[in-house]
């Protein structure tokens, strides 16, 4: 019922969803298909790029089977405010698939991600790694991908503040974007409970370029929307174990932007096809806020999808196969002209 409501909502908004509507969601089938290739058939490589004097870490996953250079579509994942790329997109959970990079690599994508300045393996600096800084990170990362793959356009998938980074990049480098997925996005932030709570600490974010991000904070990502039942909490503990290897502090820049500087993405300047997807319990935004953004997007090839019984982070939700499904359907949308 919830999935049908989400699809009906999207169709009511005039989204170009014929491909998705023709392929009803079947979680067991999607999960099985996404896991059909053994992990040993996926190859992972690492890269380093430089933004001025700042060294930034990138990783790539794709099928090990040979392919012609540039023949695989590139899908780049942009992480959010509180954890780095590995735990965001490529988390290893024994016995279950939580790596969305693995999922899309098995579906034939050349998947990439990066640690933004101040996160993960990338350099820690005196900066606060705000959205503008993230856009500069993406500029150097994408040029490296173009050089490695020969593809001039990339699919880009950002979550939370990573969606803000991705949207802001799309405004200034439209020639590099094929299709754009904005997950757990926020526009002006009006009425968003999570942002209202963060706003109480805005002075702290203004005066400190890092904030505490300990194990309890990592766990709170899974519980703060009042839908902890939508997650397996052992995944939060695995994520915390990995993130604590990088220390217990992360930059404040995206939190400051999200509490004091919204909007940072102008929908009228995002020219590419866009999928907006959110969990129905996501406290970082409201439908009213996001639909105001959605209606202004100039490209008619756009979709708005709400996932049922899903909180802020669908990547790790029990409904994640649905998340994979709607994303893949959007990325493989056929040309409207036949």
Within-domain flag for 194: yes
Within-domain flag for 80: no
Q: What is the pLDDT of residue 70?
A: 77
| Structural domain span for residue 253 | 2-73+89-331
Number of independent structural domains in the chain: 1
Residues 239 and 92: their CA atoms lie apart, in Å, by 9
Provide the CA 167 distance to its chain's centre, in angstroms: 11
Within-domain flag for 336: no
Sheet with 302-307, strands from edge to edge, namely 42-51, 54-63, 110-114, 74-78, 154-159, 177-183, 274-279, 302-307
pTM confidence score: 0.90
Instruction: Read off the pLDDT of residues 44-60 as tens digits, 9 standing for 90 and up.
Output: 999 999 999 999 999 99
Least confident among 13-22, 68-77, 198-207, 281-290: 13-22
Within-domain flag for 136: yes
Beta-carbon neighbour count of residue 25 at 10 Å?
17
Instruction: Read off the pLDDT of residues 79-105 as tens digits, 9 standing for 90 and up.
Output: 999 999 999 999 999 999 999 999 999
Give yes or no for residue 15 having a pLDDT over 70: no
Within-domain flag for 81: no
Within-domain flag for 229: yes
DSSP 84-110: -HHHHH--EETTEE--HHHHHHHTT-E
Within-domain flag for 128: yes
Within-domain flag for 338: no
Q: What is the mean pLDDT of the chain?
A: 90
CATH number where 42 lies: 3.40.50.1820
């Amino acid at each position: 019922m919830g999935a049908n409501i989400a699809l009906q909502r999207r169709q009511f908004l005039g989204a170009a969803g014929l491909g998705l509507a023709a392929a009803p969601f079947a979680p067991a089938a999607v999960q099985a298909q996404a896991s059909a290739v053994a992990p040993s058939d996926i190859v992972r490589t690492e890269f380093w790029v430089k933004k001025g004097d700042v060294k930034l870490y990138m990783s790539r996953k794709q099928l090990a089977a040979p392919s012609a250079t540039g023949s695989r579509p590139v899908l780049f994942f942009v992480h959010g405010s509180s954890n780095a790329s590995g735990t965001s997109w490529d988390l290893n959970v024994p016995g279950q698939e939580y790596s969305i990079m693995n999922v899309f690599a098995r579906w034939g994508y050349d998947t990439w991600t990066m640690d933004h300045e101040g996160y993960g393996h990338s350099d820690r600096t005196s900066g606060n790694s705000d959205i503008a800084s993230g856009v500069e990170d993406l500029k150097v990362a994408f040029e490296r991908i173009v050089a490695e793959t020969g593809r001039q356009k990339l699919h880009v998938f950002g979550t939370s503040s990573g969606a803000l980074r991705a949207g802001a990049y799309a405004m200034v480098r439209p020639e590099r974007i094929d299709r754009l997925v904005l997950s757990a996005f926020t526009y002006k932030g009006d009425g968003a409970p999570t942002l209202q709570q963060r706003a109480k600490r805005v002075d702290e974010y203004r005066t400190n370029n890092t904030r505490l991000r300990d194990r309890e904070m990592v766990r709170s990502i899974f519980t703060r929307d009042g839908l902890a039942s939508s997650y397996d909490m052992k995944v939060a503990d695995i994520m915390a174990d990995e993130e604590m290897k990088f220390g217990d502090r992360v930059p404040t820049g995206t939190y400051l932007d999200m509490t004091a500087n919204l909007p940072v993405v102008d929908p009228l300047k995002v020219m590419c096809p866009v999928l907006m997807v959110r969990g129905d319990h996501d406290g970082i935004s409201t439908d009213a806020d996001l639909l105001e953004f959605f209606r202004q997007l100039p490209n008619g090839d756009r979709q708005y999808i709400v996932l049922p019984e899903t909180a802020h982070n669908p990547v790790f939700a029990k409904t994640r196969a649905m998340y994979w499904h709607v994303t893949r359907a959007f990325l493989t949308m056929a040309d409207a002209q036949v």
